Chain A
Amino acid sequence: DAMVIQNPRYQVTQFGKPVTLSCSQTLNHNVMYWYQQKSSQAPKLLFHYYDKDFNNEADTPDNFQSRRPNTSFCFLDIRSPGLGDTAMYLCATSSGGPLTDGYTFGSGTRLTVV
């Protein structure tokens, strides 16, 4: 089945130790998003790609970087994780066209910074 896959599902990292989260999609969607979601809060958009065009949200910390080497893959790099970065990180895709099917989300990576 076409889908959005995130790895790993769970990640524990030490304070200040760089970590990379990955997302892949078989939907051939143009747009890929990274969201951060803390407990009982709304997802917060960090950045998105429309094809190779990178769009950074104004309030996304510099500590967060992203790469999209090709249509299928997108990575989230956290250069020096802090305790406040403990959250669920959600990758989502959309076709960039009609919205009747919404965004497709991966299963998320639950990151814990210790």
Chain B
Amino acid sequence: GQNIDQPTEMTATEGAIVQINCTYQTSGFNGLFWYQQHAGEAPTFLSYNVLDGLEEKGRFSSFLSRSKGYSYLLLKELQMKDSASYLCAALDSNYQLIWGAGTKLIIKP
């Protein structure tokens, strides 16, 4: 079956760095997305990786290893507004998104 695993909850300190891991098993693979979702709001797009390696976008970076079925989202210089759920989603061979349940990130002052 198809499956996405990511931690349920993480806590970090304002100004620090946090890495949110995601492992995936899908029928075929056409890329991996990270979305940010604040409570009660829609997901917003953060990143898309289809090739191995690190993609950097400001304070956020995303890494992919296709051979390991593994990705992580790295958040630097954490701000209180980064408190949200972070959803990992993989695109399968039919271009359907397979979603993880999300990682709730709690930022403490």
B-contacting residues of A (Cβ < 8 Å)?
40-45, 88, 90, 99-108, 110
Give every chain B residue within 8 A of A102 (Cβ-Cβ).
33, 35, 45, 48
Provided the pairs A42-B4, A45-B96, A99-B31 are in contact, do residues A104 and B45 lie with their beta carbons within 8 angstroms? yes
* Residues of B26-79 whose CB lies within 8 A of A: 30-31, 33, 35, 40-45, 48, 50
6 additional A-B residue pairs with CB within 8 Å, beyond A44-B99, A106-B42, A108-B42: A40-B104, A90-B42, A90-B43, A99-B31, A102-B48, A103-B33
Interface string of B3-31 (1 = CB under 8 A from A): 01000000000000000000000000011
Interface contact A103-B45, CB-CB below 8 Å: yes
Taking a contact as CB atoms closer than 8 A, the residue among B91, B96, B101 that contacts A99 in the complex is B91
A99 to B45, CA, bound (A): 11
Q: Which residue of B lies closest to A88 (CB)?
A: B40
Q: Which residue of B lies closest to A108 (CB)?
A: B42
Q: How many residues of B contact A (CB 8 A)?
A: 22
Pick from B97, B99, B101, B102 the residue with the most CB of A within 10 Å: B97
A108 to B39, CA, bound (A): 12
Interface contact B97-A103, CB-CB below 8 Å: yes
A102 to B41, CA, bound (A): 17
A106 to B35, CA, bound (A): 13
A105 to B87, CA, bound (A): 13
Taking a contact as CB atoms closer than 8 A, the residue among B41, B48, B87, B102 that contacts A100 in the complex is B48
Interface contact B4-A105, CB-CB below 8 Å: no
Pick from B35, B43, B101, B104 the residue with the most CB of A within 10 Å: B43
